Amino acid sequence: MIRCLHLADLHLGWSPQDRGFPSDKRRVRRDERDSVLKTAVDWAVDPGNSIDLVIIAGDLFETHTPDPALTEHVLGQLRRIEGAGIPVITVPGNHDEITYHNSVYRQYGDGRAWPGVLVRNPMPELVCRYEVKGVPVFIYSLAYTGGLTKVSQLASLPRQDEPGLHIGVFHGSLDWDGVADRSLPLQSSGLAAAGYDYVALGHIHKYREMRVGRGLAVYPGLIESKGFSDPGTGRMTIVQFEPQGDLQGSSGFKSSLEYVSIPHREHVILDVDISTKESQDEIVSECKGQAGPDAMVKVNLCGVPSFSVDSERLKASLQQHCFWVEIEDESSFLESDDIARFAEEPTIRGHFVRRLLDRLEDSTSEREKEVLMLALRKGLAALEGR
């Protein structure tokens, strides 16, 4: 068995850019995210985990010019992997692109300063070959470089005609047919034709795995969140290769995946219908019941409340319980004067309001009155397209 830790899109150096985010908490989030690499390296160099290879498939950094102290921290962690006798391959991404003259990979990529193998070639080629547990391991990759990487020539990808484990490592968009983004376009057909046993991908932040020809292609995803729209997986991806046929893998390799959870900041998105809530205290209570005390929380308020919601006061109340809170109020509060005005309209809305008000006047049940008022508010919101 050969075991590989496949990392991508760590985006070290990122921190929240929201102007309202307190500087002390912004620093906490940055430090938490930057500690992910050390956590991964601690796990990889532990002999009990039997890691034979580490691949970083792009966007190790948030930017191509990371803070020098962060760069030194990263180099130190990669040296630990190298010092443990584990090959480590680093591929530039689109955030930490090698194209720029001041890119960190140009500053440190002279073959001596960067631990392990740093991919710098602009077109795909065999970048390194290792002997791992008696098995030849071939790594193919490229570093997207503006003006040098010829996208039109990527249909044919290289592969040695030799027995062993063949791995492609690419940071790009697989079969992406949307608006072009600044990344390497990849096609399943080209990867399948190459016949790699495994394709280690980066760029897409959501976990994804798919078959391409004889092999498996995997996006491990972002580990630690970059915000509510980019929540992260909270886990590392390990791929295990089992040779089919002789020990040289002359018939290829079978890939199996496992996942290791690591500590990360909880992100919670709460959709709260406040139609039946009687006060803001009820909203606060429900949110606290669904989010941990140190969570990043986004609350989406919806429905038609019987009172006006003070979003700032609600946020302040929840902020005492959570690490960070965002409130999005999409509820539709209606004043009683609004309802009375609607009832005078010669419209469908007016007809609807008059019918509900007549039923309310005839009702003798408090519970029925509650239901009718809720129906009235929700009906009005629906008529307004909400």
**Three-class SS string for the chain?**
CEEEEEECCCCECCCCCCCCCCHHHHHHHHHHHHCHHHHHHHHHHCHHHCCCEEEEECCCECCCCCCHHHHHHHHHHHHHHHHCCCCEEEECCCCCCCCCCCCHHHHHCCCCCCCCEECCCCCCEEEEEEEECCEEEEEEECCCCCCCCCHHHCCCCCCCCCCCEEEEEEEEEECCCCCCCCCEEECHHHHHHHCCCEEEEECCCCCEEEEECCEEEEECCCCCCCCCCCCCCCEEEEEEEEECCCCCCCCCEEEEEEEEECCCCCEEEEEEECCCCCCHHHHHHHHHHHCCCCCEEEEEEECCCCCCCCHHHHHHHHHCCCCEEEEEECCCCCCHHHHHHHHCCCCHHHHHHHHHHHHHHHCCCHHHHHHHHHHHHHHHHHHCCC
**Same domain flag for 171 and 318:** no
Domain housing 80: 2-261
**Same domain flag for 151 and 89:** yes
pLDDT tens digit sequence for 158-183: 999 999 999 999 999 998 865 555 67
Q: What is the CATH number of the domain that holds 115?
A: 3.60.21.10
- The pLDDT score that the predictor gives to residue 195 is 93
**Same domain flag for 114 and 215:** yes
For the chain, the average pLDDT equals 90
**Same domain flag for 163 and 293:** no
pLDDT tens digit sequence for 293-337: 889 999 999 887 878 888 899 999 998 889 999 999 888 777 777
pLDDT tens digit sequence for 253-305: 999 999 999 998 889 999 998 887 888 899 999 999 898 888 999 999 988 78
pLDDT tens digit sequence for 84-135: 999 999 999 999 999 999 999 999 876 568 999 999 999 999 999 999 999 9
**Listed residues 261, 280, 296: the one ending a domain:** 261
Query: Which pTM was predicted?
Result: 0.85
- The pLDDT score that the predictor gives to residue 21 is 86
- The pLDDT score that the predictor gives to residue 91 is 97
**Same domain flag for 245 and 284:** no
**Listed residues 305, 329, 353: the one ending a domain:** 329
**Same domain flag for 225 and 111:** yes
- Please tell me the total count of domains within the chain: 3
The mean per-residue pLDDT over the stretch 142-150 comes to 92
**Same domain flag for 304 and 349:** no
**Same domain flag for 161 and 241:** yes
Q: How confident is the model at residue 13 (pLDDT cuts 50, 70, 90)?
A: very high
pLDDT tens digit sequence for 179-213: 555 678 899 999 999 999 999 999 999 999 999 99
**Same domain flag for 249 and 273:** no
**Listed residues 295, 313, 329: the one ending a domain:** 329
**Same domain flag for 239 and 285:** no
- The pLDDT score that the predictor gives to residue 104 is 95
**Same domain flag for 154 and 59:** yes
